[in-house]
Structure 1
Amino acid sequence: MGKLEVASRSGRIITTIDINGEATVSELKRKFQSYSRKYYPARQRFSLPVKAGEKRGVVLEDGKRLADYGLAEGGRVDFKDLGPQIGYSTVFFWEYFGPLVVYPLFFFFPQYLYPHIKSASPPVHSLVQKLAVAYWCFHYAKRIVETYTIHKFGHATMPIFNLFRNCAYYWGFAAYVSYFVNHPKYTAPNQTLSVACLGLAVLMQLGNLRSHIILANLRAPGEKDYKIPRGFLFNFVSCANYTFEIWGWLLYSVAVQSLAAWMFAATGAAQMVQWAIAKHSRLRKTFDGKDGRPKYPRRWIIFPPFL
């Protein structure tokens, strides 16, 4: 057995742990939990001390041995408390379940949600409104099913704050968009155009589903090593799943002709573009064609021919 010092990021020694260099980082986390029960493994992050010229130390990965990082008797690791954690699938379920419930409320219960609109009889919904609520529910039902049957997460948990932030975004926009699209005084645009756009939007969602299946098959659960996505639109675009997602919401916005829908589409697209640029950069850096690694092919990032 050897002794390993655990320090805070400020350099203060928190405790010393007896552990063999052949032990894994996961075993280190279980040992450290015995020091303080509140620091369950998902809440812990260990890294090597920051070296001169570095901004941050190398983060220790769960499956690797301490010896892989050169940690021996008298070594030191820095500890960071990641805060209370929650499972990815739990966050995804609640952020998608909200819009699935909130949006239809304005469609089915206008008498309660538009009390200022005086009418002798309930409003008659146009075909566009009916198809719009069907598309919206299909999209979020699909997302929930994907969460439990397709998606594979590189990390098991995320900070619990993300649950409240993500739910505020999705639930808030669901109410905002639905309020105007299902408003009793809503005037439906050209029906032929709207039906065609929503039909194409469904095809975009199916393309998004196909893209998620391809990504899910790239690695086993818990793996962090990236592989080059190939096939389907991935032969031309690095983040085909985001491409289909953006096109789906743009088509929905054209179909319903609502400023609220356009704002939702633009906000989501802006976030996905940021994620796509980061992922494209990571793929190019990982697959640089050196030391036997394949070279990442030339592709658009997310939105040909512009990006």
Structure 2
Amino acid sequence: MSKPITLQIRPRGKPIKSLPEAVSVPADATAADLYGLLSTKSRYSVHQLRVTKGSDGSHIPNGTSTVHSTGLRNDSTIYVKDLGPQIAWRTVFVIEYLAPIFIHPLFYALAAHIYGGTGAQSQMQKTALVAIVAHFVKREFETLFIHRFSAATMPIRNIFKNSAHYWLLSGVNMAYWIYSPTSSSAKDPPNQALLFAGIALYAFGELGNLSTHLTLRNLRSQGGNERGIPQGALFNLVTCPNYFTEVLSWVGVWLISGLNWSVVVFLVASGAQMASWASKKERRYRKEFGDKYKRKRFVMLPGIW
């Protein structure tokens, strides 16, 4: 065990009253050890704390890097921020994806009461219902059995923003307009070209998305936070084929729905967010892996961006 060093503690934002002004740790202690010590002193979960260096404001991740390797020395200053009450990422995903699974069948079943008339649904509306519900059931399955999260929790306040995206945009908004008797998807007989092209695109997108998630899962051990460079046909095409195939699936739903505008609203909102994540991931790959990572020509959409 190396000689301990003393770190000066300053609050970032609202002070944590139970934290001391300084702590001592061995220089060869890990960042995880530091977080554990701060957690014990503050009586907050390690996931609720964020530590940054006073010298340059850079984040010190809770991991296996040593305190010394982060650049901290005796009498260095660290800032500790309370991120607020936390909730598990897995729980957030389950809650987000659950609502559309119930909202769409509810609007479909209650169409006569919501819109009046007989409530009879067209082939396009029936197919859209199956496709949308199947998409979110798949999401729930992946959340419970496939995804491995690099971060254990997120601030609980974010669940409201995240849930609104799915509950309102892909839930109430899409369900209300797709199952309406005046909807473009209510046309019967359906436009066969749109319907079958949509089914084919949707199926390719869903299967490709599942395959991508399985590849990403195998890069990380259970409970670990290590990263690797994903390989495969789709990963050779774009940086983030999980986002690319997600877009393909929803374009398929749009075709199945008879080009219903509510699907476009959700697709644009989701696509913009995924584009931002894809750009960050490309930059992170280049930073973490350097020459080992072959930069992709396209980040998310082949031939476009």
Q: CA deviation at 1:91?
A: 0.5
Match for 2:180: what amino acid?
H
1:258-284, Cα deviation, whole Å (9 max, x unpaired): 111111112111211121122122223
1:144-180, Cα deviation, whole Å (9 max, x unpaired): 1001111111111111122111111100011111111
1:71-117, Cα deviation, whole Å (9 max, x unpaired): 45433321111111111100000000011111211001224433xx2
Q: CA deviation at 1:223?
A: 4.2
How high is the TM-score relative to the length of structure 2?
Answer: 0.87
The match for 2:266 is: 264
Q: CA deviation at 1:232?
A: 2.3
The match for 2:294 is: 296
Q: Secondary structure at the match of 2:239?
A: coil
8 A Cα contact 1:129 1:181, kept in partner: yes
**Is 1:138 matched with 2:156?**
no
8 A Cα contact 2:6 2:23, kept in partner: yes
The match for 1:6 is: 9
8 A Cα contact 2:25 2:34, kept in partner: yes
CA separation of 1:287/1:106 partners in 2, compared to 1, >3 Å: closer, same or farther?
same
Which residue among 280, 283, 288 is the counterpart of 2:285? 283
The match for 1:30 is: 36
Q: How does 1:69-108 map to 2 (within 5 A)?
A: 69-108=70-109
Q: Secondary structure at the match of 2:210?
A: helix
8 A Cα contact 2:50 2:59, kept in partner: no
8 A Cα contact 2:7 2:77, kept in partner: yes
CA separation of 1:278/1:67 partners in 2, compared to 1, >3 Å: closer, same or farther?
closer
Q: CA deviation at 1:285?
A: 3.1
Distance 1:160 1:283 in 2: 28
Distance 2:296 2:36 in 1: 43
Distance 1:267 1:159 in 2: 22
Distance 1:297 1:32 in 2: 39
The match for 1:306 is: 304
Distance 1:71 1:239 in 2: 35
**Is 1:172 matched with 2:165?**
no
1:241-274, Cα deviation, whole Å (9 max, x unpaired): 1111101111211221211111111211121112
How high is the TM-score relative to the length of structure 1?
Answer: 0.87
8 A Cα contact 1:283 1:296, kept in partner: no
Q: CA deviation at 1:224?
A: 4.1
Distance 1:3 1:233 in 2: 49
Distance 1:204 1:22 in 2: 47
**Is 1:44 matched with 2:49?**
yes
8 A Cα contact 1:6 1:79, kept in partner: yes
8 A Cα contact 2:7 2:76, kept in partner: yes
Distance 2:76 2:243 in 1: 44
Cα RMSD of the aligned pairs, angstroms, is 2.2
Match for 1:45: what amino acid?
R
Match for 2:175: what amino acid?
S
Q: CA deviation at 1:128?
A: 1.0
Structure 2 residues not aligned, in runs of 5+: none
CA separation of 1:306/1:69 partners in 2, compared to 1, >3 Å: closer, same or farther?
closer
The match for 1:129 is: 125
Q: CA deviation at 1:22?
A: 3.2
Match for 1:303: what amino acid?
L
CA separation of 1:282/1:26 partners in 2, compared to 1, >3 Å: closer, same or farther?
closer
Distance 1:43 1:88 in 2: 13
